[in-house]
Amino acid sequence: MAISRDARGGSRKDEHVALAEELRGEHAPAGVWDDIRFLHRSFPGLAVDDVDLSTTVCGRPWTAPFFINAMTGGSEKTALINADLARAAAATGVAMATGSASPALKDPALAHSFAVVREQAPEAFLFANVSPEMTVAQARDAVGFLSADALQIHVNPAQELVMPEGDRDFRGWPDRIGEIVDGVDVPVVVKEVGFGLSRASIAAVAEQGVHVIDVSGRGGTNFIDIENRRRDRQEFAYLSGWGQTAAECLLDPLHR
């Protein structure tokens, strides 16, 4: 059953949050990581005190390979969520990405729902987030909203197809991504939104000079399910299991 926009507070972003909570745990693929095992080493050759989780991402040091990935922004309700997430990032020293800046790029009055992240986490490594449909100027504006250290470009054709008001033309996305890479002054990450990136997709964006690829595989928030709940006709439940898991994405490029 479709859920009306009025019932969700008039904002697509608020609808997404409400539906993500409502659908949490539904249709999650069983055992996504159950077949993955750590390789045991009987001769590790180091002391426990030598263990170091620090790493480098986009040329910057991180204390651990964990971060708060893109979720939301673009409304009063989601501004509060972003503020809470930013405080958590500041307290734990992890990086954070915002959701798509598209709402603020269309209505500058909504920019505060993204800028609040930098206000609450002044020292954190932050990712801005745009779609490949944005212009270079818009990508720069998104970075400016929160003085971002890097820019995510999300690719989400499956979500767009099910979204009632979604895009239907995906031509030229790699070239658009390349233009943004060349036109912004921060490292660029290309990410999926929960459906994974195949070897061919990874190759297409790697050629454009992106700095990091985030496969964002199936198994978490399912935007096909979320967008399907927002529809009042032509339901797409049969696509609920669409996409590759992160493990499948990571193994795919190895099998050449």
Check: pTM over 0.95? Answer yes or no. no
Tens of pLDDT along the chain (256 residues) come to: 343 443 333 389 999 999 999 988 665 566 677 888 899 999 999 999 999 999 999 999 999 999 999 999 999 999 999 999 999 999 999 999 999 999 999 999 999 999 999 999 999 999 999 999 999 999 999 999 999 999 999 999 999 999 999 999 999 999 999 999 999 999 999 999 999 999 999 999 999 999 999 999 998 899 999 999 999 999 999 999 999 999 999 887 665 5
**Distance separating alpha carbons of residues 215 and 198, to the nearest angstrom:** 8
For 135-164, give the DSSP string: -HHHHHHHHHHTT-SEEEEE--HHHHHHST
Between 3.90.930.12, 3.40.50.80, 3.90.1150.10, 3.20.20.70, what CATH number should domain 10-23+53-254 receive?
A: 3.20.20.70
Of the candidates 86, 97, 103, which has an alpha carbon nearest to the alpha carbon of residue 12? Answer: 103
Q: Is the dihedral of CA 70, 73, 78, 84 positive or negative?
A: positive
